[in-house]
Each structure stands twice: as C-alpha cells, then as structure tokens.
Amino acid sequence: MEIKSDYLIIGSGIAGLSFALKAALRGRVTIVTKKETMDASTNYAQGGIASVLDPHDSFDLHIKDTLESGAGLCNEQVVRMVVTNGPDMIKELISLGVNFSHNTTQTERLDLTQEGGHSRRRIVHTKDLTGQEVERALIYNAEKNKNIKIYENHMVIDLITTSKFIKRGLSTNETKETCWGAYVLDIITGEVNTFLSRVIVLATGGAGKVYLYTSNPDIATGDGVAIGYRAGAKVANMEFVQFHPTCLYHPMENNFLISESVRGEGGRLINKKGDHFMERYHPLKDLALRDVVARSIDTELKKSGDECVYLDISHRSSDFIKNRFPNIYMKCLELNIDITKEPIPVVPAAHYMCGGIMTDMQGRTNITNLYAIGEVACTGLHGANRLASNSLIEALVFSRFAFEDSAKTITGKDDYQFPPVPLWDTGSATDSDESVVVSHNWDEVRRMMWNYVGIVRTNKRLIRATRRIEVIQQEIKDYYWNFIIARDLLELRNLATVAELIITSATIRKESRGLHYNLDYLERDDNNWHHDTII
C-alpha cells in the first residue's frame, strides 16, 4: 500500500503533535506512531515547562542559566530563540485547553516552581502531571482535526531517500540527498507500507532504553537517531546523556521518576545513615545541577555499597505534599511508602539524550525535506547538559519554526509527483525460531551501556564497550537480514546503533564536560574540545 500526504510526522509526543496541529492548516498530515498515540515520554513529564513569566525573572537570566548548564557548548542564538519564544508557547498551550496549576494566593497567576540550575521560579506545571495534561490536550485537538490522520501501531523502519532507494531518480542537478517518505511496519498485520510525503518530520523522542536503568517509557529506543543516521543525517553530541538523579528504587517499579521539583520544594537527599551528603559535594547542595547530583549519588553508592540513597520531603506539611505531588504521593503509597512520613528510596537513571540528529534553527537536517524536532534532535539548545524543564519548551518552539520553514515547500499543488519508489522487499526472510537472540542482545546492550558507558566513564571501559558493540552489531545484522522483521528486532537494531554512536562520541571526546565524565581526563579542555562531536 502507498499512502501519500503533504506532511509525514513520525511520533505523537509534544513535538510531533504540536507540529501536526500547525501543519494541518496548510495540508494533509499523516502521523505514524509505534504504539498508541499517548505512548510517549511527553506523557510522563512531571516537573513542567520552563518559561519566563514572573516579573522578577528575565529572558537574560533564563539564557544565562541555560548557557551555564550547557558547559560552553550551547548555541547562544538558539538559546535566545527558545527562551524568548517561551511565553508565547505557554499561551498557545493554554489556548489549546491545557490546564496549568495556578498560584494558591494570587489565583489569576500561573504557579511557578523551581528546579535545579534555575536561578528563578519559572517552571509552569500541572501539579506533577504536566506532560500528561499537555499530551491530553494535544491529542484531543489532533483527533478532531479533519486534516490529521493518525496511524497507531505503525513503526517506521527506514527513511526513503534518493540515493538509498531511488537511485535512478537522481537527476544531474540534484546534488543534495532528499527524503521522500518512509517504509512503515504495521505492527498488527505485519505488512510493510510505503508512506510518501513532501515534508518528513522525525519526532521520535529519546533513547533512555539503551541503558539498563531509565526513567523513560518503553518507546524510547532511539529509533529516530538510528533511522536518520542510516539515511545519512548528521548526528551530534551523543556522549551527553543525562542521568536523572532520582528514580524510585523499588523491585515492583521499573522507571518511575521522582521529579526534580521535590528537591525544588525542599526535599533533601540523605544516605542510609541519614547524612545530608550533598553538603559535601556542592555549594548548591540538593539544588546543584542534575549531573552533579547524579555523580554525587553514584560516588556515595560506590563508597558505601548501598543499593540506593533517600529523598526526604517529610518535613513539609502532609497537605502540601499531597496537593503538590499527588502522582508521586499515590504511586509511592501503592508501594507502601508514605512520603509524608518517610524518605523515598532513589537511584540515578538514564533520562534525557542531549545529542541527536543535528539541525539548524528551523529544525532542518542536512537531508532535503527532512526535519527533526523534540528530543530526537540536537538543536544547540542544551549543549553538554540540559537545564531541567527546557526540553518541552524546545519541542514547542522548534515545532513552530520547523513548520514555518517547511510550509514554504507546500505550495498548495495537490498533484505533486513523487519519484517511483520500490515496494518493500522481504527477500527470502523467514519466521524466526530463535527469539532468544533478540531478548539476549537487548539485555546485553543495556547492561553493557550501564556498566561501561554510564555516569562515570574511563578509557578502558570505553574500549571494552567498543569491542562488545561490534560483536553485537554483527549478530543483529545477520539476524535482521534472515528473519521476518518485528517490532522488538527493529528496536534492538536501533538501540544497538544508538549505543554505538554514544560509545564512539564518548571515545572521541578526550575531556570531561557537562554530562560526559571520564576519569582519565578529569578536566574540561576548552583549547581542544570546545566544539560539538559530529558523526
């Protein structure tokens, strides 16, 4: 089957949906999403969205905080663009029906909370369920829009580009690679269909699942980075993986995040003995940047041999805790932890990918017609370390600028001619009788990345990881070409590619900066490494 549209959007999180709502004013929009529409990291965001809305705050302060967090690698122009467009984006969300929390004393004002690295209270939120509320409103608007068609359980395998799939279509004056659409697996029927489009948007989110412990949902397997990379898109800064310091540590719960705003509202980290250990690591104590807190916990755990540390907010009133953090309160209570009375066991976990498909200020990649927005992209906003709550706002601002740029190519002509594209060829692939290969390699990649390419790296560990990933990649390649594809195999293939990109980037950067911390090069080296790592 061949499905044609003006805009093909891959992913239904904040980036994909907010782009779709704009694009629908201009043409026919197709969204493909690999599970149900709401299965996205966006749905799990708790803390909120950073934006300058308080009279005591300023754009300059938000820019300064973002640049400081980015450890010298932010693109200042991009930071300014995102920060100054922030308030408009919040207004736009409100106009789409998003209900943000309001201040309890001045009820006409939005409630602004604080998170690590922010010098002012500037995080707009809906209690501790911000992402869920934003995703709800975006899906509601997208579903009732007649120009938007959403294909759930549809997973993109690869992009269709001129040089890879349409070689004969390459005319002599066409020097740049062009994207025409994607091959998409219908997960329910097993068919692979061809989706053609004039504009293609990667909005596939992050890659937390590449690590054993992560706050990310199952969809976060780095597909967009791997798909883009295979198509020839430039990938940047993959060594900068953010580990969230406080994921719930409990045998019954895999990846539940304890929001940074718990520390913003006075929560204190303690070890098993009850010591407030952050006092020993950083002058900002519990409100130090995420990477500092995550590394401090890692050191504390390695020193003590304990399995977790604890986050204690029980000194705040019970009413305040239940009202401000209803989601965290209830989730912990289900596990017999009453956070109004006792500390929460926590460990660090992979949380956010600062690197990704490299784009310019309009979200354009180096491939014609192909855009990347949201967590899959490396726009220059985050540099070597993302400031908390800066990612939802980045997705919103870039969806606006990417749309405005891409709209120039949609001239309203309905009879657009796509080049002839071959149908997906399954060749001689057969059904696999050994799924254990896939599950074993899934586990091995994630464990290897956690142990060798995690919060603290060394040259030796990176060499070991390089050797391991080469073997795993070969095994996956053999398997991929011989057996009929399914979602877990496609995800594993992408996960391994992303792992390889992280290892390679971490090996290239011979210094410690932001989120990349290598015990063999402890210092930041601005003379040699003050630039992005581009692959």
Ligand X SMILES: Cc1cc2nc3c(=O)[nH]c(=O)nc-3n(C[C@H](O)[C@H](O)[C@H](O)COP(=O)(O)OP(=O)(O)OC[C@H]3O[C@@H](n4cnc5c(N)ncnc54)[C@H](O)[C@@H]3O)c2cc1C
Contact 407, 459 (CB under 8 A): no
Q: Pick from 3, 4, 26, 35: which binds ligand X (CB under 6 A)?
A: 35
Q: Pick from 20, 21, 29, 45: which binds ligand X (CB under 6 A)?
A: 45
Dihedral angle sign, alpha carbons of residues 97, 16, 410, 86 = positive
Among the candidate windows 96-104, 162-170, 213-221, 509-517, which touches ligand X by CB under 6 A? 213-221
Among the candidate windows 30-38, 268-276, 473-481, 522-530, which touches ligand X by CB under 6 A? 30-38
Q: Based on the shown chain and the rule CB under 6 A, indicate whether residue 142 belongs to the binding site for ligand X.
A: no
Among the candidate windows 13-21, 92-100, 332-340, 516-524, which touches ligand X by CB under 6 A? 13-21
Query: What span, in angstroms and rounded, lies between the C-alpha atoms of 229 and 176?
Result: 16
Token representation of residue 399: 């969806």
Dihedral angle sign, alpha carbons of residues 69, 456, 496, 441 = negative
Q: What is the smallest separation between the CB atom of 21 and ligand X, expressed in angstroms?
A: 13
Q: Based on the shown chain and the rule CB under 6 A, indicate whether residue 492 belongs to the binding site for ligand X.
A: no
Query: What span, in angstroms and rounded, lies between the C-alpha atoms of 507 and 277?
Result: 31
Strands of 377-378's sheet in order across = 235-236, 356-358, 377-378
Dihedral angle sign, alpha carbons of residues 497, 498, 500, 501 = positive
Q: Which amino acid is at 104?
A: T
Q: Which long-range contacts (CB under 8 A, 24 or more apart) does 326-330 make?
A: 326/127, 326/128, 326/129, 327/46, 327/127, 327/128, 327/129, 328/46, 328/128, 328/258, 328/259, 328/262
Q: Based on the shown chain and the rule CB under 6 A, indicate whether residue 42 belongs to the binding site for ligand X.
A: yes
Applying CB under 6 A, the site for ligand X has a residue count of: 43
Q: Residue of minimal CB distance from ligand X?
A: 13
Q: What is the smallest separation between the CB atom of 23 and ligand X, expressed in angstroms?
A: 15
Query: What span, in angstroms and rounded, lies between the C-alpha atoms of 143 and 132?
Result: 16
Q: Based on the shown chain and the rule CB under 6 A, indicate whether residue 44 belongs to the binding site for ligand X.
A: yes
Among this protein's residues, is 290 annotated catalytic? yes
Closest CA to 231 of 174, 166, 187, 171: 166
Q: Based on the shown chain and the rule CB under 6 A, indicate whether residue 257 belongs to the binding site for ligand X.
A: yes
Residue number with CB closer to ligand X (39 or 300): 39
Q: Based on the shown chain and the rule CB under 6 A, indicate whether residue 399 belongs to the binding site for ligand X.
A: no
Q: Based on the shown chain and the rule CB under 6 A, indicate whether residue 345 belongs to the binding site for ligand X.
A: no
Q: What is the smallest separation between the CB atom of 459 and ligand X, expressed in angstroms?
A: 30
Q: Pick from 8, 9, 30, 47: which binds ligand X (CB under 6 A)?
A: 47
Q: Pick from 343, 363, 374, 380: which binds ligand X (CB under 6 A)?
A: 374
Dihedral angle sign, alpha carbons of residues 298, 300, 304, 308 = negative
Closest CA to 384 of 349, 352, 354, 351: 354
Residue number with CB closer to ligand X (83 or 465): 83
Catalytic entry in 290, 324, 386, 468: 290
Q: Based on the shown chain and the rule CB under 6 A, indicate whether residue 219 belongs to the binding site for ligand X.
A: yes
List contacts with ligand X (CB under 6 A): 10-16, 32-35, 39-42, 44-49, 130-131, 155-156, 203-206, 215-216, 219, 223, 257, 352, 374-376, 389-392, 395
Q: Looking at the annotation, which residues are catalytic?
A: 290
